[in-house]
Structure 1
Amino acid sequence: MGWNAAGLLVEGEVGSDVLAALPGAPQASGEKGSGDEVFSNSFPADYAVATVGGWTVLADPWISALYDETLSPRLAEGRRVLTFIANSVTSTYGMGWYVDGAVVRDVLVVEGETVAEEGVPLPEEDGIGLYEEDDVFALISRLTGVDFGTIVDAEYRFLSNTTAE
């Protein structure tokens, strides 16, 4: 299956005040769905959020939050944050690992070429090249202890923007 999976895993729970500070100031729409819907090309909302294995999963299909370079370090203050993108249609794969407000590692691979890289490779990257979605999913599991199947099976609350970006 080809995935359009992009988002963040934030250690611990994230409150509604933090979610409202995302680009577009999203609020809960009252709708819910599974990761199959959230990580598809036809997802109807701006974001979706679930809690899985001690991590808050923030699905960001339009990569609005991922483009905000200040968001991940801010969310990582006092905890860890993993950003991820796995889009098989565009052959775009990447991850960012933030610890206590600082980027430790950030990699983006497009069509097999590394287009951005910061930090030294993590031990968890051993044997993984970020050339396909399974590489991203393996890193998610290695870094957070949560496998992508569990992320997909979670129930998500949909969030819709209340302001223009």
Structure 2
Amino acid sequence: MGWNTTAVFVENTDPTAALAGVGLTDLRVTEENVPFDTATSKMEAGFVFTAQSGAWTEIWDPELRAVGRLIGAEPTIETTHRVLAVVFSSVASTYGFAWFEAGQLVRRVVYADGEVVDQAGDPLPMEATMEFPSWGPDEDFVFEVVKTLTDCDVDYSTTYRRHELPER
């Protein structure tokens, strides 16, 4: 299965505050909960999906609305909580993450076709221990980053709340 989505993990806050902290406001919360595979890997235009995983709010963002603000050269963040933004794009062989502490970018690295194409900050200690397949970082790399930094793990039983995005 190829992953083509983005996600943000915000520590110690509820979904409403987490969404606002990463610049997603004016959302309409729907009454619909969706399963893991819909929230994390189905390209549903116009929606983001949230769930609580321990101390972390997960925001799955297939249209890169929040992650685009966080992983770019000039990240925009409105929260002092720890935040992890991740990118999965198996179609373009692009994978990466951005890690924030106290509202400040600590580390960003993006790989395309196995090569670093963008980075900022010093490598995190966990990066020195990560092994990549011969073709470079992939979905397993991103999920390992998520697990190591947030202790959130893939849980197919998790349900996610659907939030409708305003028209652009």
TM-score, normalised to structure 1, is: 0.85
1:14 alignment partner in structure 2: 14
Counterpart amino acid of residue 2 in structure 1:
G
Q: Say which of 135, 145, 157 aligns to 1:153.
A: 157
Aligned length: 160
Shift of 1:39: 1.8
Where do 5+ consecutive residues of structure 1 fail to align?
none
Give the counterpart letter for 1:142 in structure 2.
T
Are the aligned partners of 1:108 and 1:115 in contact in 2 as well (CA < 8 Å)? yes
Q: Which runs of 5+ in 2 are unaligned?
A: none
Residue by residue over 1:135-159, the C-alpha shift from the partner in whole angstroms, topping out at 9 and shown as x without a partner, is 1101111111121x12x43110011
What SS does the corresponding residue of 2:129 show, helix, strand or coil?
Answer: coil
In structure 2, the CA distance between the partners of 1:32 and 1:50, relative to structure 1 (3 Å rule), is same
Q: Deviations over 1:68-105 (max 9, x none)?
A: 24776323x1x210110122122110001100011110
Contact 1:19-1:25 at 8 Å conserved across structures: no
Cα distance between partner residues in 2 of 1:74 and 1:131? 29
Q: Is the 8 A contact 2:87 2:94 kept in 1?
A: yes
Quick one: which of 120, 142, 153 aligns to 1:136? 142
> Helix, strand or coil for the counterpart of 2:67?
helix
Moved more, 55-64 or 82-91: 82-91
Instruction: Check conservation: 2:5, 2:43, Cα contact below 8 A.
Output: no
Partner in structure 2 of residue 102 of structure 1? 104
Report percent identity of matched pairs. Answer: 31
The alignment partner of 1:138 has SS state of helix
Give TM-score, length-normalised by structure 2: 0.84
Alignment partners' CA distance in 1, 2:26 and 2:113? 32
